[in-house]
């Protein structure tokens, strides 16, 4: 038997013994465990699973052992992931730092930064948030204005970041800031990390059209940030930021594959609310629902194909570039159809005139509008496909 | 179920790419059209294809087949789509060959299968009667008589029906139009009295015929499979054909898309390549997305053809998904290709029009996107 087969056997046995039975199911809404100093566990099993994975170094299985990782080879990580999938294990924690900042620190961070930041990250002790977008820098992220002024041994940060998920609950932030206001816009940006308890930081949550949300706006008023917290070269932040976003997409596609339950099944719902189509209009609605479900099927097959192509060493950058666009737009289409099928039942805001499921569908429909905007609006995704994948020329 | 080709299938694709580019480029198809070739394909090319072993791929070794599985037809049909190459591979091998392999008697198999695989004979499937694909709508009537069966009725859109050596005819032997039970399959040889074959010139200038049956008499041994119960085996063979057509559509659409991208990068208006305009960039990006989804659906449809662990309904559902998505994507790509090429896109000089026309015919053949959307829905509620 080869070494990788041995590893599979050991991993399977360890997971069987250590992943609590109750956590081998899809994660219900609101039961995700977010690491950090204020970590909360919905139950004892979640705490056990968190601690066991942490002590094994498997929050970051591919990181070097010296920084708190599991030290696994890419092949072993693939085995671990497939065994986690096989047992349907819930993620032991969700941690933006590990997914996004960690890989960038490993590549660009100084030895000192790696030791200081990666180890607590790998132990799930710090909850990270992201400071990228600003009120006037959305799709055109490089026009960001939040400034970090050089004051000798430290920077002084002023400005504001918006759409920061869980800004109010996070311990640290990684942020893109302007360090050279005179350079061309892409060349004056740096990546820094900062403690959210620093004096001068204030956070206000944002209500969306769907109601309460995780999004916050963060304000910086003369916030002191030591220079040791600059990641990578001064004014070299744009490249690092792009790399971070690539890790985000990779993590999101993995996350989407394994742990997000599909809450609302389109066709059974349409059937329930439109049991006997009596008009051409009803038939047309059912046809729309069917076409939407078929497109979802084709998307799921594309996720599978992308995995197989990656494992066989093919270039999957083209497929990666379409995933977010397709998934968010399909979801939006799906909820539009549900809204039409449920009619008045999908127009409730709260109260017992509507079922819990109906209210949830309405919220999910409203929330879907954020999904085709956040993380790169659909139009930005189309630009990326046109230019980077298809090689179409830039406008003059 | 794997959604990528294995080593053997990739080699097959490489061979097909080189062979068809050399022997059957789009220019050859254009020449056949201009000459008004009655068969719509080049008989010599068909002989070479047979020589390469492509017609033997899906069949067991007992009949001279290679037993490579139906999935291996995928890479071939994809390349066929890229070059618009016409041949009777779909009609005589995938459809007629599958029906005889799945349902034929030993005598029928012995007589026909090696001849079909060897390219010595051609059979065509006569199924549709109305304007759109619909097997259950079969009305062509076959009644038992002393000598066997008597057939009366008409068939439209018989692919490669001109100068075929015989026809596998879907006939109603019981029940009413629209009913699943009561369909039978009969083998009628060309030249049988009462059978009239008329060529139908289609936009893709392929071989297509209309058949008229006026009291055509055939023997009892003309029945292929069970009387009144042909539908299951018919659907299995049709699904093979549908997924092959989906592969062809995908190949044609991807090639047409690549041609269009080249044009967007080189055509200059307003002092800029038109591909630098965002209005066109976004439309091109959306076509790329459609093609990526279509490829996944086609790969799943192909893999399902040979996957014994799937139920018949699951296999059929994946075939419909493949034909639906590939047909839809190819339609969109071909419409946009003409529009993005502008004035020259509507001229006959450009190959864009040849792709557009072939895509429309292949999309309608064996069920268009609407048909397969409906079928997918029905199969989803079939818990088989």
pLDDT digits (tens, 9 = 90+) for A178-203: 999 999 999 999 999 999 999 999 99
Domain range holding A46?
Answer: 3-94
Element (H, E) at B31: helix B26-35
Same domain, B159 and B235: no
Same domain, A141 and A76: no
pLDDT(A387) > 50: yes
Q: State the nearest Cα–Cα gap between B177 and chain A, in angstroms.
A: 23
Q: Which of A375-379, B14-18, B336-340, B371-375 has the lowest mean pLDDT?
A: A375-379
Is B293 close to A392, i.e. CB distance below 8 A?
no
Q: Establish if A109 belongs to a structural domain.
A: no
CA A133 to CA A360: how far, in whole Å?
28
Interface of A with B (CB under 8 A): 267, 286-287, 290-291, 293-295, 297-299, 301-302, 304-305, 308-309, 312, 314, 318-319, 322, 325-326, 379, 381-383, 385-387, 389-396
pLDDT digits (tens, 9 = 90+) for B275-304: 999 999 999 999 999 999 999 999 999 999
Q: Which among B261, B296, B377 has the least Cβ separation from residue A290?
A: B377
Same domain, B30 and B91: yes
Same domain, A173 and A268: no
Same domain, B277 and B193: no
Q: Across chain B, what does the average pLDDT equal? A: 96
DSSP A288-324: HHHHHHHHHHHHHHHHHHHHHHHHTT---HHHHHHHH
Q: Identify which of A29-43, B10-24, B54-68 has the greatest average pLDDT.
A: B10-24
pLDDT digits (tens, 9 = 90+) for A82-127: 899 899 999 999 888 998 999 999 999 999 999 999 999 999 999 9
Q: Which of A30-34, B84-88, B98-102, B173-177 has the lowest mean pLDDT?
A: A30-34
Q: Which among B264, B281, B297 has the least Cβ separation from residue A298?
A: B297
Q: Establish if B1 belongs to a structural domain.
A: no
Percent of chain B with pLDDT over 90: 97
Same domain, B67 and B169: no
Please give the ipTM for the structure prediction.
Answer: 0.96
Q: Establish if A257 belongs to a structural domain.
A: no
Q: Which among A309, A392, A395 has the least Cβ separation from residue B4?
A: A309
Q: Alpha helices, DSSP H only, in chain A?
A: 3-18, 44-56, 74-86, 96, 102-108, 111-113, 119-122, 237-258, 266-273, 280-311, 317-342, 356-371, 378-384
Q: How confident is the model at residue A260 (pLDDT cuts 50, 70, 90)?
A: very low
Domain range holding B325?
Answer: 231-380
Mean pLDDT for the stretch of residues A318-322: 94
Same domain, B109 and B128: no
pLDDT digits (tens, 9 = 90+) for B62-94: 888 999 999 999 999 999 999 999 999 999 999
How much is the CA Rg of chain B, to the nearest whole Å? 21
Q: How confident is the model at residue A257 (pLDDT cuts 50, 70, 90)?
A: very low
Q: Across chain A, what does the average pLDDT equal? A: 92
Q: How many CB atoms lie within 10 A of CB A107?
A: 10
pLDDT of residue A261: 43
Q: Which residues of B353-370 are buried (b: 16+ CB within 10 A; e: fewer)?
A: bbbbbbbbbbbbbbbbbe
Same domain, B151 and B94: no
User: A160 near A134, Cβ under 8 Å?
Assistant: yes
Report the CATH number that the domain containing residue A292 is assigned in CATH.
1.20.140.10
Same domain, B84 and B18: yes
How many separate domains does chain A show? 3
Same domain, A17 and A135: no
Contacts with A390 from chain B: Cβ below 8 Å: 261, 281, 284-285, 288
Q: How confident is the model at residue A253 (pLDDT cuts 50, 70, 90)?
A: low
* Domain boundary, last residue among A52, A79, A94: A94
Q: How confident is the model at residue A66 (pLDDT cuts 50, 70, 90)?
A: very high
Backbone angles phi, psi at A159, to 5 degrees: 140, -160
Mean pLDDT for the stretch of residues B139-160: 97
pLDDT of residue B383: 58
User: B287 near B232, Cβ under 8 Å?
Assistant: no
pLDDT of residue A254: 60
The total number of residues written for chain A in this structure: 396
Same domain, A273 and A374: yes
pLDDT digits (tens, 9 = 90+) for B234-256: 999 999 999 999 999 999 999 99
Same domain, B151 and B268: no
Same domain, B254 and B211: no
């Amino acid at each position: 038997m080869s070494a990788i087969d041995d590893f599979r056997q050991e991993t399977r046995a360890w997971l069987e013994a250590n992943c609590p039975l109750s956590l081998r199911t899809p994660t219900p809404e609101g039961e995700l465990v977010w690491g950090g100093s204020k970590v909360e566990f919905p139950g004892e099993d979640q705490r056990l699973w968190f601690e066991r994975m942490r002590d094994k170094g498997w929050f970051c299985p591919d990181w070097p052992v010296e920084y708190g990782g599991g030290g696994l080879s890419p092949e072993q990580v693939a085995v671990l992931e497939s065994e986690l999938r096989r047992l349907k294990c819930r993620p032991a924690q969700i941690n933006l730092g590990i997914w996004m900042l960690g890989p960038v620190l490993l590549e660009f961070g100084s030895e000192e930064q790696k030791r200081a930041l990666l180890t607590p990250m790998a132990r799930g002790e710090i909850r990270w948030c992201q400071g990228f977008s600003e009120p006037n820098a959305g799709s055109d992220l490089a026009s960001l204005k939040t400034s970090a002024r050089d004051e000798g041994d430290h920077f002084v940060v002023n400005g504001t970041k918006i759409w920061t998920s869980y800004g109010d609950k996070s311990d640290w932030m990684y942020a893109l800031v302007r360090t050279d206001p005179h350079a061309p816009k892409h060349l004056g940006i740096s990546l820094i990390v900062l403690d959210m308890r620093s004096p001068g930081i204030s956070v206000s949550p944002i209500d969306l059209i769907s109601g309460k949300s995780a999004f916050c706006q963060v304000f910086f008023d003369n916030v002191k940030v030591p220079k040791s917290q600059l990641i990578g070269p001064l004014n070299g932040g744009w490249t690092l930021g792009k790399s971070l976003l690539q890790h985000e997409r990779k993590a999101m596609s993995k996350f989407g594959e394994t742990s997000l339950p599909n809450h609302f099944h389109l066709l059974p719902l349409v059937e329930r609310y439109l049991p006997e189509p009596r008009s051409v209009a009803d038939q047309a609605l059912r046809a729309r629902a069917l076409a939407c479900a078929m497109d979802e099927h084709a998307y799921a097959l594309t996720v599978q194909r992308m995995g197989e192509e990656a494992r066989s060493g093919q270039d999957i950058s083209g497929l990666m570039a379409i995933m977010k666009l397709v998934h968010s737009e399909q979801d939006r289409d799906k909820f539009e159809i549900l809204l039409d099928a449920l009619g008045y039942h999908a127009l409730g805001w709260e109260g017992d005139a509507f079922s819990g499921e109906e209210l949830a569908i309405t919220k999910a429909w409203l929330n879907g509008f954020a999904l085709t905007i956040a993380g790169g609006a659909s139009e930005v995704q189309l630009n990326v496909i046109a230019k980077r994948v298809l090689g179409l020329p830039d406008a003059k | 179920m794997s959604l990528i080709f294995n080593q053997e299938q990739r080699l097959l694709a490489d061979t097909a790419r080189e062979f068809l580019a050399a022997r059957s480029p789009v220019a050859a198809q254009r020449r056949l059209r201009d000459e008004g070739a009655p068969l719509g394909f080049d008989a010599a090319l068909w002989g070479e294809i047979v020589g390469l072993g492509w017609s033997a791929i899906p069949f067991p070794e007992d009949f001279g087949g290679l037993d490579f599985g139906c999935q291996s037809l995928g890479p071939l049909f994809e390349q066929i789509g890229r070059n618009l190459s016409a041949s009777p591979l779909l009609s005589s091998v995938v459809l007629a060959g599958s029906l005889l392999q799945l349902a034929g008697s030993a005598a029928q198999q012995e007589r026909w299968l090696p001849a079909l695989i060897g390219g010595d004979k051609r059979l065509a499937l006569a199924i549709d009667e109305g304007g759109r694909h619909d097997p259950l709508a079969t009305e062509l009537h076959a009644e038992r008589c002393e000598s066997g069966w008597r057939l009366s009725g008409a068939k439209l859109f018989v692919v490669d029906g001109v100068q075929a050596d015989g026809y596998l005819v879907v006939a109603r032997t019981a029940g009413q139009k629209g009913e699943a039970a009561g369909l039978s399959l009969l083998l009628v040889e060309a030249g049988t009295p009462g059978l009239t074959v008329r060529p139908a010139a289609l936009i893709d200038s392929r071989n297509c015929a209309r058949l008229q049956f006026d009291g055509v008499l055939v023997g009892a041994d003309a029945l292929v499979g069970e009387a009144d119960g042909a539908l299951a085996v018919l659907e299995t063979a049709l699904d093979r054909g549908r997924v092959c057509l989906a592969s062809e559509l995908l190949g044609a659409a991807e090639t047409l898309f690549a041609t269009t991208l080249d044009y967007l990068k080189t055509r200059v208006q307003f002092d800029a390549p038109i591909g630098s305009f965002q209005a066109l960039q976004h439309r091109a990006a959306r076509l790329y997305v459609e093609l990526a989804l279509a490829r996944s659906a086609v790969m799943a449809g192909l893999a399902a053809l040979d996957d014994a662990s799937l139920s018949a309904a699951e296999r059929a559902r994946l075939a419909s998904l493949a034909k639906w998505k590939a047909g839809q994507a190819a339609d969109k790509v071909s419409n946009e290709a003409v529009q993005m090429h502008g004035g020259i896109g509507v001229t006959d000089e450009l190959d864009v029009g040849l792709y557009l026309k072939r895509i429309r015919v292949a999309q309608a053949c064996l069920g268009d996107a609407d048909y397969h959307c409906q079928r997918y829905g029905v199969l989803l509620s079939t818990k088989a």
